[in-house]
Chains A and B, each alone.
Chain A
Amino acid sequence: GESVGLHLPTLSVQEGDNSIINCAYSNSASDYFIWYKQESGKGPQFIIDIRSNMDKRQGQRVTVLLNKTVKHLSLQIAATQPGDSAVYFCAETPASGGYNKLIFGAGTRLAVHP
């Protein structure tokens, strides 16, 4: 079926370092991308989004980069903190027929060590 990023890698970083989480998406027709953070026992929490007419968007301590040529999305977290430990999912919305349907990647676990 449809998929965004089939792997579930784990990224281990030291507190204070910058983190980069990557995602490959499969649908070149998607025009909206979102990053969610999911902590244990909770639902996904919105972090940041980006539309396909942009290649970079910044939030507070986070930056999302979109490379449509290679269908790649990344989330950069500056000065990673223990509270950033969670599973991070990228998601996409198809440009047509999908309306608010989100297609999620498998996720990346971020472990922040003191």
Chain B
Amino acid sequence: KAGVTQTPRYLIKTRGQQVTLSCSPISGHRSVSWYQQTPGQGLQFLFEYFSETQRNKGNFPGRFSGRQFSNSRSEMNVSTLELGDSALYLCASSLGKRRDTQYFGPGTRLTVL
């Protein structure tokens, strides 16, 4: 069974631009969560989607948004990019029940110049 895939793997943007990242979960998984990883703040939860609905949200500004499609694929969008948004963005998928194992993708490395 294929793992979680994320595209693109690397991205370079400039301040003020917006970006869309994509995540394809493991087949059969209905929950997709997004995390931001930086050296300073570590791994921080952004949001979780289940059956096309945002089920949970972390403490990030409204510039960070996401959505999930009927095939469980998910996208996250960051608008008006700031230098501090440079990070590794990880998505994780699971079956969707509480305490189901979450499997992570390789991440998208975003650099904001």
Query: CB within 8 Å of B: which residues of A?
Result: 1, 32, 34, 36, 41-46, 49, 51, 89, 91, 93, 98-107
Contact = CB atoms under 8 A, between A and B. Distances in A.
Interface on chain B toward A: helix, strand, loop, or mixed SS? strand
Given A32-B98, A51-B99, A99-B55, 13 more contacts: A1-B44, A32-B99, A43-B107, A93-B98, A100-B48, A100-B56, A100-B96, A100-B100, A101-B56, A101-B58, A105-B42, A106-B42, A107-B42
Contacts of A45: 104
A98 B56 contact: yes
A103 B45 contact: yes
A102 B94 CA distance: 12
Given A43-B106, A43-B107, A46-B102, A99 B56 contact: yes
B57 to A, nearest CB: 9
A45 to B, nearest CB: 7
Given A1-B59, A43-B4, A43-B107, A100 B102 contact: yes
Interface residues of B, number: 28
Contacts of A99: 48, 55-56, 98
B90 interface: yes
B104 to A, nearest CB: 4
Interface of B: 4, 31, 33, 35, 42-45, 48, 50, 55-56, 58-59, 90, 92, 94, 96, 98-107
Nearest to A97: B56
A106 B45 CA distance: 13
B102 to A, nearest CB: 7
9 contacts: A46-B101, A46-B103, A93-B99, A100-B55, A100-B94, A100-B102, A101-B45, A105-B42, A107-B42
A76 B48 CA distance: 30
